[in-house]
Each structure stands twice: as C-alpha cells, then as structure tokens.
Chains A and B, each alone.
Chain A
Amino acid sequence: MQTPAPFEYEHASSVDEALALLERHGPETRLVAGGHSLLPMMKLRLARPERLVDVNDLTDLAYVRREGDQIAIGALTRHAQLASSPLLASLYPIFQDAERVIADPVVRNRGTIGGSLCQGDPAEDLSAVVATLGGSLKIRSRTGERVVAARDFYLGPYETQVGPAEMVTEVVIPIRPGAGSAYEKVERRPGDWAIAAVGCFLTVSGGVIADCGIGLAAVGAPGLPALEAEAALRGRPAGEEAYAAAAQMAAAHCRPQTDQRGPAEYKRDLVAELTRRALRRAAARVMAGGA
C-alpha cells in the first residue's frame, strides 16, 4: 500500500490566499491542483511536503482565451479542457496531438497545465509543447508578477524558476497567423511517458520557412529546444532537405540516457525520425491553412 507521509492540508479560495499560505508556512509547503504528478511522488516518498495547499477552488484560473495576439491559458486549466479547446485546435493543433497521448482520459480530467509544467519532469509533454511555441509563464508572488520564458523556466529536472512563495497563474503563447504545428511521440504503451517526443511549429512565406520552433521531450532537460535545428530551418525552403538537416541537428543536440525505455542511441535515432515526421505534419497543416 502506497500512502504519502503525513502532512497538513489547507484550501485556498483565492490566489492571494494561496500566496499568503505559501509565505506563512515556508518552503516545505506545496500547491496541489490535479495532484496526478505530486501525489504519486508523495506516495513514493520522493516528495515529502509538510503542508499542501489545495488550489482546486481557484476556478477562475481555468480558461483558454485569445487576448490580442496571444493565447492565455490559466494555470488550473485541465488536460481535458486543453484537448477540447476550439481555439487551440484551430491555432495550435500541437496541443491536441500532445493531449491525445498524455496519460489517459480519466487522468486528463484532473491534471492541470500549471501542475504539469511546474513538475518539471524531463519527459513531460506539455513542457515540450510550450517550449516549442516559445510560450511564457506568469509567476505571481505577494509582491508582484514576473514573466519567464518557457525556455528559461527549467533549471534542471524537477527544478523550475518558481520560488517557494510563488505560483504560476498563466501560460501565454504568441499567436502566429498561418502557423502549422505538430507533436510526435513514441511510447512503450498508450498513456506512458515518452521514449522520445518532438514538437514543432512552422510558418512559411513564399515556400520559405520564416519562423519555427522545435522542442524535445524525454531526451534531456524538460522541453529542451533544439536551437541549432531551428536556426538551420529559418530561411530555408520548406521540404525534405530542410527537414533532414534539422532532424540530424536535433538528434545531435539532445542528451538521451540509456534506461528501461531504451538505449541512448536508439532514442537519438528516434529524435531524428520524429523531427522529420513532426515537420512534415506541421508543414501539411500550413498548406491546409494553418489548422
């Protein structure tokens, strides 16, 4: 039987109250939303917070909406809401691609985007999606708000920029008219963590790649952007030649480890293949009108 170590528990009914509780009780206090990352870690005693602050009542943080040239996603938005958002489906189908392969439908009823990103698991899919799209995170504290780029958010595995008395409240994604995007993942069985996964977006102007992003999951840091591959794609004609070059660079850029999911060399090859597939699919979506 797996049971977490004892802890204290409180509800927060507003962001301000959650932040006040974090500040009052100190660094051994953790926020819990869906709990599908934190509770399993607590059962395994990999995490032993002294106190949980339940933020499930902060339903005003559950939204996906367009704000000018950005998409704003509240931190308490659950996977199931992301998967069914018409806005994300039309502007960034990469979200639907990823959501279809995150855990299973029942887990997706509970898990939140804020929790997923703050967990900082190197194999977590939404971290790769948000890094791919060059999104950013709004982090609140009692004294104010700061915005951190998703690509700077992770200090290492399970370690983020969020301080002990801070809370992520929103994820912001820039809208790129006409962009195509896709997420490709290979896992051992449905719902498992990735062996490797690749997300990408493309904008194409006159047959030439104008802008792009590539993020990798499970082969290094959370969301690991493939910077050289991105640089190599910009300004190049969209097509197999460009995708092959990017695939090789992404494979060279990643840092997979040999583990129970496979040898490092296999994962590296997988990154190359998944990069090609993701770019092809994103390009096809550009041609189909960005959706």
Chain B
Amino acid sequence: MRVAMNVNGEEVGAEVEPRMLLVHFLRDELGLTGTHWGCDTSNCGTCVVWMDGEPVKSCTVLAAMASGRDVRTVEGLEQGTQLDPVQEGFMQEHGLQCGFCTPGMMMTARWLLDHNPDPSEAEIREAISGQICRCTGYENIVRAIRWAAAHQPAKEVAS
C-alpha cells in the first residue's frame, strides 16, 4: 500500500506492506537511522518520535497509521546548524553514555519543555518514565533536560 506523510517538514511517501512499523519505515525506507529500534515491545522508548505533535513509540505504530500525519524525528530537532537546547544539554551534562536511548529521550524532553518550560526533577522523571537507559545514566539525563530548560532560546517576539 502507498503511505505518505510529512517527516521533519518534508513530504515523503513509499509503497510498503501494511504490517510495516513506523520505526522501520523511518530507518529502512527513509534512511533516518537517528530513531533507534530497541525492545520491539513499547517498553524501552528509544524509538520515540512525534506524531501530530505528540510523542509516540514508533515500534507500536504502523507506518500506515502515520500516513497523512506529521512526524518529527530526532533529525528534526536541529534548526539549520543550530542544535536544539535539548541536544546541547545532553552534550553539556553528559546525558548519554552508549547513546542508544538518547534519540527517544531527547524527543520526549523536547515535548516536555514545549509544554512545561521549567519542569521539576519529578516532572522530568515522570515524563521519561516510559524510557529505559540501560547504562542507568538517568541522573545526567535529568540534568541535561534541566540544562535545556535553563537555556531555552529566546522566543521570537512578533513586532
């Protein structure tokens, strides 16, 4: 079947089997390997992307279900050559060790900060509670998100 969607602002489409999962569509059809494929069981959260503005686990969404929708992956965080404050935060606070969970963590973090610009530690931990860091580097992930919260780019003010 034909699926077509907007991924990181670009219209894309492909002929796929209905059973193809969104994570495989992104990685194998589009070559967007920033989204990682982990547990396959919606537990680990490394495959988190946004669909119509909300974080979802792309191992448990069919590519067909995303057809006609807006998808944002970790490749869509960077604006031009400017890293997102969340990406910067993960660098500054050493928010990753092996890096496997990082794309999902960052997508959830971006969503959290968009809806709650100054989250408490408890709110951050709740937000990422569906995501597993097997290096157990949660302390630094929380610090990275706090860093991003403290370094949000100035919002553009309409003149």
State the CA gap A3–B19 with chains docked (Å): 7
Rounded to whole Å, the gap between the CB of B44 and the closest CB of chain A is 11
Query: In the complex, are the beta carbons of A104 and B60 less than 8 A apart?
Result: no
Query: In the complex, are the beta carbons of B60 and A40 less than 8 A apart?
Result: yes
Rounded to whole Å, the gap between the CB of B109 and the closest CB of chain A is 12
The residue that B57 contacts in the complex, of A9, A52, A106, with Cβ under 8 A, is A106
**B residues in contact with A109, CB < 8 Å:** 54-56
Rounded to whole Å, the gap between the CB of A266 and the closest CB of chain B is 24
B42 at the interface (CB under 8 A from A): yes
**B residues in contact with A105, CB < 8 Å:** 55, 108, 126-127, 129-130
State the CA gap A238–B80 with chains docked (Å): 64
Given contacts A40-B41, A103-B130, contact A4 B60 (CB under 8 A): no
Query: In the complex, are the beta carbons of B48 and A56 less than 8 A apart?
Result: no
Please indicate which of the listed interface residues A9, A43, A52 has the most CB atoms of chain B within 10 Å of its own CB: A9
Query: In the complex, are the beta carbons of A107 and B57 less than 8 A apart?
Result: yes
Rounded to whole Å, the gap between the CB of B130 and the closest CB of chain A is 3
Main secondary structure of the interface of A (DSSP, over half): loop
A97 at the interface (CB under 8 A from B): no
How many residues belonging to B are interface residues under a CB distance threshold of 8 Å?
Answer: 26
> Which residues 54-85 of A sit at the B interface, judged by CB distance below 8 A?
54, 56
- By a beta-carbon cutoff of 8 Å, the part of chain A in contact with chain B is 1-9, 32, 35-36, 39-40, 43, 52, 54, 56, 103-107, 109-110, 190-191
- Shortest 10 CB-CB contacts between residues of A and residues of B: A104-B130, A9-B18, A2-B40, A106-B130, A4-B19, A109-B54, A106-B55, A104-B129, A9-B64, A39-B60
Given contacts A54-B65, A56-B65, 17 further A-B contacts (CB under 8 A): A1-B40, A4-B19, A6-B19, A35-B65, A40-B42, A40-B60, A43-B41, A103-B42, A104-B129, A105-B127, A106-B45, A106-B56, A106-B108, A106-B130, A109-B55, A109-B56, A191-B129
21 example contacts (A-B, Cβ-Cβ < 8 A) are as follows A3-B19, A6-B18, A7-B18, A7-B19, A9-B64, A35-B60, A36-B60, A39-B62, A40-B42, A40-B60, A52-B18, A54-B65, A56-B65, A105-B126, A105-B129, A106-B57, A106-B108, A107-B42, A107-B130, A109-B56, A190-B129
